Amino acid sequence: MAAMMQPQIILLKEGTDTSQGKAQLISNINACTGIADVVRTTLGPRGMDKLIHDDKGNTTISNDGATIMKLLDIIHPASKILVDIARSQDSEVGDGTTTVVLLAGEFLKEAKPFIEDGVHPQNLIRSYRNASQLAIQKVKDLAISIEGKSLEEKKSLLGKCAATTLSSKLIGGEKEFFAQMVVDAVLAVGVDDRLSMIGIKKVPGGNMRDSFLVNGVAFKKTFSYAGFEQQPKKFLSPKILLLNIELELKSEKENAEIRLSDPSQYQSIVDAEWNIIYDKLDKCVQTGAKIVLSRLAIGDLATQYFDRDIFCAGRVAEEDLQRVAAATGGTVQTSVNNIIDEVLGTCEIFEEKQVGNERFNIFSGCPSGHTATIVLRGGADQFIEEAERSLHDAIMIVRRAVKNSTVVAGGGAIDMEISRHLRQHARTIAGKSQLFINSYAKALEVIPRQLCDNAGFDATDVLNKLRQKHALPSGEGANYGVDINTGGITDSFANFVWEPAVVKINAINAASEAACLVLSVDETVKNPKSESAQGDAAAMGGRGRGAGGRGRGMRRR
């Protein structure tokens, strides 16, 4: 009998929680669909906003999928995958963050009945991967290029893309106004498409229409020193000197020691300090620069030395200084010795202006034109914060459209067309795979359905009309999507509801990857908390010491 008993093998630490098999997979799918349900209502022009209140008392009102996912304190390990794809969509293309979460949730929802019926997840994964490749190819086939157009046409087309993005945001009511501003900002930056070159400054007060674009750099007045008021506040075509050094009297280091044999020598040391600072200031004046900016402090002495003829500002933020350098063609200097004209920047107009409650230093008409600044106005702080996030999405979309100049119809049109294409393809396949690709096609319909639900329309009725239109053999209904204004269907492309093809491609790719990743997990191993593990180790260490003590005691006896 003893020989038949199997020895128990313990692999994992006591207290480790393991969940596995079909139940685990279904639990993960339920968690992911739960997350998708949170952002579901934010999709589209009639989407609602979420108010998120964190433990520090900060309040955020947002419609942006990535922002909401970031602020949700998600602890379920499988659901964190959806947070990651929302972030990757945000960093890659800027918009479509709600779409990608919704698609991933819907793919998993469609997979759930098959898993419950005993289908092996790998079969589903294979079909989903195949379907995503077909879907991406179809998007590429349907995409229309806006390359080769004149600048005016291109501006207009890019404005349509920006307006489509902004229509679902809090500032959607002024989408034409902001779309034009975003397009001008992106085109002003030109080839240097670093996002940091477009600054967004927020000034509470006024209304949205008081927002304006500076074709150059604008930043808030920095710390002001005594004598600041006497400085001139406007220059035409000034030379600009950018520094990364302090222009103030420096006290000796704490451990500095000077030994004097004669008290009269003390004055010479004090004079030496003053001569050093005066020498620096004199060299700044000799460069011919009318504006001196420094990342470090510019003290009272320097401010008053410059006061009648030169404008100076110290403690300028690093990013603002870099943007001034890029815009004016100047170079940041770490020394005032041997400054040549080539390192000085210039602009058409510099002036200090009042914007709301703040004073702003504005450099406009910059020669290199590699930067632009949007100054945002609005009532509540939360409103301006959300407006900034909305503009970030629009800027990213326009940047992508400039680089990858292909667009597709929005309003759920492209999703319906891919869905139809996949259903047709599924009919040519024998075996279970046909069912899986059909379920993938059905999942894509979640976008137009949700657009209808969020606007209060009858989703079933609208989807039936869309299916009928997209099924036309001539293919003339391929661009038909949801008409948000009437609750019917309309040609999205003709109505200028456009989005860059790269948004859709990235969304389908990321959502399919996430769904396949969740489906491929059949076991979750949760280690016990590290505190208890440390407690066990301490207890074991205590027992070891006790045993050692007893051992020593025995030896002593």
Torsion of CA 522, 527, 528, 530, to 10 degrees: -150
The DSSP bridge pattern shows strands 234-236 and 349-355 to be antiparallel
**Whether the Cβ atoms of residue 354 and residue 205 lie closer than 8 Å to each other:** no
Let me know if 98 is a catalytic residue: yes
**Which residue is associated with the tokens 């406009």?**
364
- Continuous H helices in 15-120: 22-40, 65-71, 80-92, 97-116
- In the chain the first and final C-alpha atoms are separated, in Å, by 45
Q: Tell the burial category of 282 from Cβ atoms under 10 Å away from its Cβ (0-12, 13-18, 19+).
A: exposed
Let me know if 97 is a catalytic residue: yes
3-class secondary structure, 180: helix
Q: Tell the burial category of 87 from Cβ atoms under 10 Å away from its Cβ (0-12, 13-18, 19+).
A: middle
Q: How far is CA 319 from the centre of its chain?
A: 17
Let me know if 486 is a catalytic residue: no
**Which residue is associated with the tokens 């920095």?**
222
**Which residue is associated with the tokens 């990013």?**
319
Rounded to whole angstroms, what are the CA distances from 489 to 163, 271, 307, 445? Answer: 19, 82, 65, 14
Instruction: Tally Cβ neighbours within 10 Å of residue 481.
Output: 28
Output the CA angle 95-99-103, nearest 5 degrees.
145
Backbone φ and ψ of 405, nearest 5°:
-85, 50
State the catalytic residue, choosing from 98, 99, 303, 328: 98
**Whether the Cβ atoms of residue 178 and residue 394 lie closer than 8 Å to each other:** yes
Is the Cα dihedral 66, 68, 70, 72 positive or negative?
Answer: negative
Output the CA angle 112-447-76, nearest 5 degrees.
45
3-class secondary structure, 267: helix
**Which residue is associated with the tokens 């009998």?**
1
Strand order in the sheet with 239-243: 311-313, 291-294, 239-243, 345-346
Q: How far apart are CA 134 and CA 150, in angstroms?
A: 33
Let me know if 64 is a catalytic residue: yes
The torsion region of residue 57 among left (phi > 0), alpha (psi -120 to 50) and beta comes to: left
Cα Rg of the chain (Å, integer): 32
State the catalytic residue, choosing from 33, 42, 60, 97: 97
Contacts with 280 (C-beta within 8 Å, 6 or more apart), sequence order: 245, 247, 336
The DSSP bridge pattern shows strands 498-500 and 198-204 to be unpaired
The DSSP bridge pattern shows strands 198-204 and 372-378 to be parallel
Here the tokens at position 95 are 């918009």
Strand order in the sheet with 372-378: 198-204, 372-378, 212-214
Task: Give catalytic residues, as residue numbers.
Answer: 64, 97-98, 393
